[in-house]
Structure 1
Amino acid sequence: MDIQLDQISKTEALIKISLKEADYQPKVEEKIKEYGKKASIKGFRPGKVPMSVIRKMYGKSVLVDEINQMVSRQVMDYIKEKEIQLLGEPLPNQDKIAEQDWDTAKDFDFEYSIGMAPEFEVSVDKKVKVDTFAIKVDDKLINETLENLKNQFGDVTNPETAEEGDSLYGFIQADGEEEPAGTTLDLKEVEKKDQKNFIGKKSGDTIEFDPSKSIKNETVRAQFLGDNAESKGKITFEIKNVNRTTPAELNQELFDKVFGKDQVKTEAEFIEKVRTAISDNYTRETDGYTQLKIRDTFIDNIKIELPDEFLKRWLKVSNKDITDEQIETEYPLYTNDLRWSMIKNKIAKANDIKVENQDVVDEAKNMIRQQFGSMGMSEQMEANIDAFADNYLRAENGNNYMKLHETVFNDRIIAFIKENVTIKAKEVSAEEYREKA
């Protein structure tokens, strides 16, 4: 057997294999003998079928199967031996396969196209600069949050008529809808100039108005309209209840409701704990953006040449339902993901960053505990946490394990990068962040 690599470019090559009869014939003969022992053919006793009959009936299919298996195995062994870093998988030359004369030929030639990962350098140091955002927690935001908490845990009453600051629960009358879903309209979200149309109204009253003009906040408007979100122009809203909230006071009762019994003792402690909670939430929110900026920074600044034509062919072969148009459209996204994966692997190898099985198991346990949130886990459930984690990781044919492994690996790479590069976070308000990011 002769196997050789013909380099086409830095990222593409051909693996060529030539087989002589002596390379495959012993395996073929062995397989035919096995067929002879098991074959059940009319007119012959089991195991007594002449080999000439077996060869005539099964010889060609055995030859094709054995050679294909031998060639595939040799290709992968060669790639492993030469430590070739593949992109995609080897693609056999189908034209050459079609040309094979399986009836009379003794020697066979095969050819596989491969895509290879190029050499590139990755620097993870303070010279690498990543720009991101940090949401500032100012007094205005603290005061808004405190007001929201006081309203959330306040006392709700149902007065007869609506006043400024109330909310109205009712139904949007729609054609053909016998039992419309209930919805709530917070008068604080209604434009000031239109609030007079709602104040003084009571249960049973109907109001005709255009939500697109009276409710400027798109999210609030969509929540109010619900299934009627596509409606245009004026709608008729029938009031069922007027709801009025008397805000809770900043006292021990509120402290206990928000953070748990006796976790906070003074108003100053409560405000500081609220500030910390907001800051933690915003840090989690901006962390996703920072990770994307880190990813983009490395992808944009590290030149990695890819075997584009090979990869497009491989994507077409490995995804039968995908069209050429889809490949062209989605290819930039695919290659960005591929480049980022290559960069992460390079960083991991250079800095001995690994993920062991126990790391994945521990992450599964943490994830399960987090799902119980503030309720916590009972002693009995905690005692069975190993079984819960094992069941989760085995589910979906092991895909859960692979996904969690990738999550842990990605988190470690990101943590390493954050420690070693220069991250500059511009402080912005929550509104500015959502607009910019």
Structure 2
Amino acid sequence: MEITLDKHSANQASIKIKLNEADYQPKVDAKLKDYAKKANIKGFRPGKAPAAMIKNLYGTSVLVEEINDILSSSLNDYIKEQSFKILGDPLPETKAAEAIDWKNQKEFEFAYKIGFVENLDVKIDESLKATDYKLEVDKKAIDDAIQNIRRQYGKMTNPEVSQENDFLYGDLKATDGSYEQTLSLPLSKLDGRSLKKFIGVEKGAEIEFDPSKAIKGDLKEVLNVSDEDASKISGTFTFTVQNINRTEDADLDQELFDKVFGPDQVKTEEEFVEKVKEILGESYDRETKVFTEEKIKDLLVEKANLDLPEEFLKEWLRKANEGKVSDSEIEKEFPAYVKQLTWSLVSNKIAEENEIKAEHEDVVAKTQDMIREQLASSGLGSQMEDNMDMFVNNYLQGNDGQNYMQILTAVQNDKVLDFVKEKITLKEEKLSVDKFKELLEN
């Protein structure tokens, strides 16, 4: 057997494997002998069919199978010996393979295209500078959160006269008769001029307006209608009020405290405010941690400055997805894929050089945190804790083991980022909620 590497560029190459008869024939002969012992062919007693007949019946398929096994193991072993990091999987060059005469050839040559990176150098020290974002839990944020809670737990009423922020339920009709729909109109989504028409009205009132101009935002989302209906809602319409719906804010009393935090967990308005502030702080910390770490990833990806074999990777993505992804979709998603691939290479390199490993116990702990968060959001947190081991095992064993590998990778990435944050220069920057939203939008 002869294996050679032909580098076409700094990140693409071909691997050629030449096989002669001595490389595969002993295995083929052994497999055919095994077939002969078990073969049940009409006209012959089991295991007594002539060797020539067995070879004629099974020789080619056994040859192909054995050569494919040899190619797979030899290629994998060869790649493991190299200093470079292969990307994706080797792609067989099919033209030469299609021309093989399996019945008569004795020597075979196969070629594979590969993409790779080498000399990946990731320097982690104080010269790398990043920002550690922290959100300030200011009075406005606390007041807004409390207002949202009061609204969420408030009671629905049906007043006689409309006010700002009410929902009007009624019939929307085009004046030319081309469209009619009964729906709920949120007054908070109307522009200032149009809003005046809808404030102070009673049931049965009929208001004329152009929804496409009066409504702020996407008509489909605001009115909860289909794309087709949204395209028709333009021009002069009338809205006839059938009902007025208003949510009255819940009082800041023990009933609200118990509903939000559980019986007797909070007993005064001051304790309620402090609890909201604490939860906001924890939420902000999670959000800013994710944002900070994404910026650090961006910094490391930029510093790595990897030259990736883009055409090879696009071809590999097409074949790996077996035609399920179009060329246009690959082009659209490719920048994000390249960023994620580069980060994966950088993260693995840092982990390897600094002996950072994700242990099984870490995987279980992270999965527990994930499940607790999901249960808490559904209001089932504490009462399901006794079944946590079952939830964790079911999740980690699911999806043919891919769930476990995804959590394992996530744990390693977390450890790598913790390591990086200790080594680089992190400057803390405190932000208001509004400023943080601007950063997220940009």
- Give the structure-1-normalised TM-score: 0.84
The correspondence for 1:336, drawn from 311, 336, 339, is: 339
Aligned pair 1:185/2:190, yes or no? no
> Letter of the aligned partner of 1:294 in structure 2?
I
| CA pair 240-402 structure 1, distance change in 2 beyond 3 A | farther
Q: Secondary structure at the match of 1:87?
A: strand
For the residues of structure 2 that align with 1:324 and 1:53, how far apart are their CA atoms?
Answer: 48
| CA pair 262-408 structure 1, distance change in 2 beyond 3 A | same
| CA pair 113-368 structure 1, distance change in 2 beyond 3 A | same
Q: Deviations over 1:140-184 (max 9, x none)?
A: 33333333434444454433223x346134134357999956425
> Letter of the aligned partner of 1:168 in structure 2?
F
Aligned pair 1:284/2:283, yes or no? no
Partner of 1:226: 224
Listed as ranges, the matches of 1:22-421 within 5 Å are: 22-82=22-82, 85-131=85-131, 134-162=134-162, 164-165=163-164, 167-173=166-172, 182-186=183-187, 190-216=190-216, 218=217, 223-227=221-225, 229-230=230-231, 231-321=233-323, 322=325, 326-373=329-376, 374-378=379-383, 381-421=384-424
The worse-fitting range, judged by mean Cα deviation, of 237-246 and 351-360 is: 237-246
For the residues of structure 1 that align with 2:222 and 2:333, how far apart are their CA atoms?
Answer: 37
Once the two structures are TM-superposed, the CA of residue 70 in structure 1 deviates from its matched residue by 1.4
Once the two structures are TM-superposed, the CA of residue 4 in structure 1 deviates from its matched residue by 3.7
Once the two structures are TM-superposed, the CA of residue 67 in structure 1 deviates from its matched residue by 1.9
The worse-fitting range, judged by mean Cα deviation, of 251-260 and 334-343 is: 251-260
Q: Secondary structure at the match of 1:130?
A: strand
Q: Secondary structure at the match of 1:203?
A: coil
| CA pair 4-223 structure 1, distance change in 2 beyond 3 A | closer
> Retained in 2: the 8 A contact 1:13–1:114?
yes
Q: Secondary structure at the match of 2:167?
A: strand
> Retained in 1: the 8 A contact 2:115–2:313?
yes
> Retained in 1: the 8 A contact 2:171–2:242?
no
| CA pair 272-419 structure 1, distance change in 2 beyond 3 A | farther
> Letter of the aligned partner of 2:308 in structure 1?
L
| CA pair 157-92 structure 1, distance change in 2 beyond 3 A | closer
| CA pair 323-210 structure 1, distance change in 2 beyond 3 A | closer
> Letter of the aligned partner of 1:207 in structure 2?
I
Q: Deviations over 1:370-405 (max 9, x none)?
A: 222144343xx5343222221222222223222322
Q: Deviations over 1:266-297 (max 9, x none)?
A: 43333233233333333333444333322221
Q: Deviations over 1:115-149 (max 9, x none)?
A: 33311221233322234755443333333333343
> Retained in 2: the 8 A contact 1:153–1:248?
yes
Q: Secondary structure at the match of 1:305?
A: coil
| CA pair 279-179 structure 1, distance change in 2 beyond 3 A | farther
| CA pair 353-181 structure 1, distance change in 2 beyond 3 A | farther
For the residues of structure 1 that align with 2:142 and 2:22, how far apart are their CA atoms?
Answer: 82
Q: Secondary structure at the match of 1:31?
A: helix
> Letter of the aligned partner of 2:375 in structure 1?
F
Once the two structures are TM-superposed, the CA of residue 344 in structure 1 deviates from its matched residue by 0.7
> Letter of the aligned partner of 1:372 in structure 2?
L
| CA pair 376-63 structure 1, distance change in 2 beyond 3 A | closer
| CA pair 183-418 structure 1, distance change in 2 beyond 3 A | farther
Q: How many residues align?
A: 431
Once the two structures are TM-superposed, the CA of residue 353 in structure 1 deviates from its matched residue by 2.0
> Letter of the aligned partner of 1:183 in structure 2?
S
The worse-fitting range, judged by mean Cα deviation, of 121-130 and 316-325 is: 316-325
| Alpha-carbon RMSD | 3.3
Q: Secondary structure at the match of 1:116?
A: strand
For the residues of structure 2 that align with 1:317 and 1:153, how far apart are their CA atoms?
Answer: 52
For the residues of structure 1 that align with 2:14 and 2:310, how far apart are their CA atoms?
Answer: 15
Specify every segment of 5 or more residues in structure 1 that has no aligned partner in the other structure, as ranges: none
- Calculate percent identity across the aligned residue pairs: 43
| CA pair 155-313 structure 1, distance change in 2 beyond 3 A | closer
> Letter of the aligned partner of 2:143 in structure 1?
N
Q: Deviations over 1:177-206 (max 9, x none)?
A: 9995642524x5544444442233222333
Specify every segment of 5 or more residues in structure 2 that has no aligned partner in the other structure, as ranges: none
